[in-house]
């Protein structure tokens, strides 16, 4: 169990921010994690738990970082309708998706190619193209950093919401997710309600739907549209799409007829990217911090931006959206 000192995190966060960990170590099991936590300095300072670093903005140098490398992919149970797949928190999320597709297990195909690790998926209830992880979530096992020991959380314990969970708020920094178990369908229910998927399937010449084809369509859309962190630093959508009530929506729609919004329970979800674009930010750059030129919801690091540079830019963007639309943007990315 190697503890590295003054360790560069540049390759461990997809923004490519040059931050350094005072102490850095990896764990591959609950026992290894427990052992590390009994040793200085991890026994004192609450560590930053790192997965793939694809949803984090480092604005300072963390004292202690622990990286999740808990492996394993396994069908643990099957009945006549479902298969239960357990994934170690350190497995790549997309490896889990591929594992399910290869076995004809449906439910995660729309979530293809989301970067990061399986252990982080419940953190913000990852979602894309009309599906969220909560739709297939069964349970997770987590190490309690406060009380010690491993605890099981079932779906109803996780407080899942739109890019939300108890792990992101109430229990922030308290639990280390060691494994997740998903409940996949043996008979698929296809979700192609996002127009882009239907169009892509058509362009691919698909006439009979399959989970493999939906996954391929999602991958094609994502790779054509989203910036690849290997080429340009980013952490996906920087802000959440804000939800507003119907009354506020009617007022805004009157003032801004082009407003992009989707009905949700209790009101409307506004496309934050559209509002940011209307404020003139799309493609703009401040030094090495910028707003992506194809998706204004994504902030990028052109090379040497610091976490503080990106954060400052995000504050200016949120202030201008508030000023123009009267809507407060909330960051989706975890600021550390």
Q: Which residue has the tokens 């209830």?
A: 125
Instruction: State which of residues 16, 47, 51, 273 lies at the interface with ligand FAD (CB under 6 A).
Output: 51
Asked if residue 41 has a cis previous peptide bond (ω within 30° of 0), the answer is yes
> Segment near ligand NAP (CB under 6 A), from 34-42, 93-101, 135-143, 190-198?
190-198
Catalytic residue among 86, 134, 163, 183: 163
Q: Is 215 a catalytic site residue?
A: no
Contact 167, 123 (CB under 8 A): yes
User: What is d(CA 11, CA 333) in angstroms, rounded to the nearest whole number?
Assistant: 18
Instruction: State which of residues 21, 58, 87, 126 lies at the interface with ligand FAD (CB under 6 A).
Output: 126
> Segment near ligand NAP (CB under 6 A), from 24-32, 83-91, 192-200, 313-321?
192-200
- Structure tokens belonging to residue 134: 């909560």
259 binding ligand NAP? (CB under 6 A): no
262 binding ligand NAP? (CB under 6 A): yes
Contact 104, 85 (CB under 8 A): no
Contact 77, 84 (CB under 8 A): yes
CB count, 10 Å around CB of 190? 15
CA-nearest of 189, 181, 187, 191 to 81 is 187
236 binding ligand FAD? (CB under 6 A): yes
- Side-chain-side CA neighbours of residue 141 (13 Å): 13
Interacting partner of 242 out of ligand NAP, ligand FAD, none (Cβ under 5 to 8 A depending on kind): none
Q: Is 237 a catalytic site residue?
A: yes
Give the nearest distance from C-beta 186 to ligand FAD in angstroms.
25
214 binding ligand FAD? (CB under 6 A): no
Residue nearest ligand NAP, CB atom distance: 236
For 83-111, letters b (16+ CB in 10 Å) and e give bbbbbbbbbbbbebbbbbbeeebbbbbbb
Instruction: State which of residues 54, 179, 215, 314 lies at the interface with ligand FAD (CB under 6 A).
Output: 54
> Segment near ligand FAD (CB under 6 A), from 119-127, 183-191, 206-214, 276-284?
119-127
CB count, 10 Å around CB of 139? 18
Q: Is 163 a catalytic site residue?
A: yes
What residues from 214 to 243 belong to the interface with ligand NAP (CB under 6 A)? Answer: 225-226, 236-237, 241
Task: Express the helix, strand and coil content of the chain in percent, nearest 5 each.
Answer: 30, 30, 45
140 binding ligand FAD? (CB under 6 A): no
Give the total of residues touching ligand NAP (CB under 6 A).
17
Interacting partner of 110 out of ligand NAP, ligand FAD, none (Cβ under 5 to 8 A depending on kind): none
What residues from 292 to 311 belong to the interface with ligand NAP (CB under 6 A)? Answer: 295
Contact letters for ligand NAP, residues 113-142 (x by CB under 6 A): --------------xxx-------------
Interacting partner of 19 out of ligand NAP, ligand FAD, none (Cβ under 5 to 8 A depending on kind): none
Q: Which residues have C-beta within 8 Å of that of residue 231, sequence separation ≥ 6? A: none
Edge-to-edge order in the sheet of strand 175-185? 73-78, 82-88, 175-185, 137-144, 150-154
What residues from 7 to 46 belong to the interface with ligand FAD (CB under 6 A)? Answer: 14
> Segment near ligand NAP (CB under 6 A), from 30-38, 72-80, 167-175, 265-273?
265-273
Q: Which residues are catalytic?
A: 163, 237, 332
């Amino acid at each position: 169990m190697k503890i590295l000192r003054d360790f560069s995190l540049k390759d461990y966060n997809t923004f490519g921010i040059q931050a350094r960990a005072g102490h850095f170590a990896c764990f591959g099991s609950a026992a290894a994690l427990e052992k590390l936590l009994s040793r200085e300095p991890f026994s004192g300072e609450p560590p930053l738990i790192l997965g793939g670093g694809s949803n984090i903005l480092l604005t300072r140098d963390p004292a202690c970082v622990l990286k999740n490398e808990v492996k394993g992919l396994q069908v643990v149970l099957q009945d006549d309708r479902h298969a239960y797949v357990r994934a170690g928190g350190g497995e790549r999320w997309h490896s889990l998706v591929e594992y399910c597709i290869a076995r004809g297990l449906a439910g995660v195909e729309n979530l293809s190619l989301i970067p990061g690790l399986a252990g982080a998926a419940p953190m913000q209830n990852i979602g894309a193209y009309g599906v969220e992880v909560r739709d297939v979530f069964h349970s997770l096992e987590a190490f309690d950093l406060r009380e010690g020991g491993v605890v099981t959380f079932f779906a109803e314990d996780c407080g899942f919401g739109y890019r939300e969970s108890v792990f992101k708020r109430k229990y922030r920094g308290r639990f280390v997710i060691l494994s997740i178990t998903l409940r996949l369908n043996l008979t698929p229910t296809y979700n192609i309600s996002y127009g882009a998927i239907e169009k892509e399937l058509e362009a691919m010449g698909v006439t009979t739907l399959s989970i493999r084809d939906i996954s391929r369509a999602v991958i094609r859309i994502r790779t054509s549209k989203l910036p690849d962190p290997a080429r340009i630093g980013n952490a996906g959508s920087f802000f959440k799409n804000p939800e507003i009530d119907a009354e506020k929506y009617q007022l805004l729609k009157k003032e801004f007829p082009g407003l992009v919004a989707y009905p949700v329970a209790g009101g409307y979800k506004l496309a934050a990217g559209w509002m940011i674009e209307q404020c003139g930010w799309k493609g703009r750059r401040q030094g090495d911090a910028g707003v992506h030129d194809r998706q204004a919801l994504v902030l990028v690091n052109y090379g040497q931006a610091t976490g503080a540079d990106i954060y400052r830019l995000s504050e200016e963007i949120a202030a201008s959206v508030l000023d123009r639309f009267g809507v407060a943007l909330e960051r989706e990315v975890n600021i550390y």
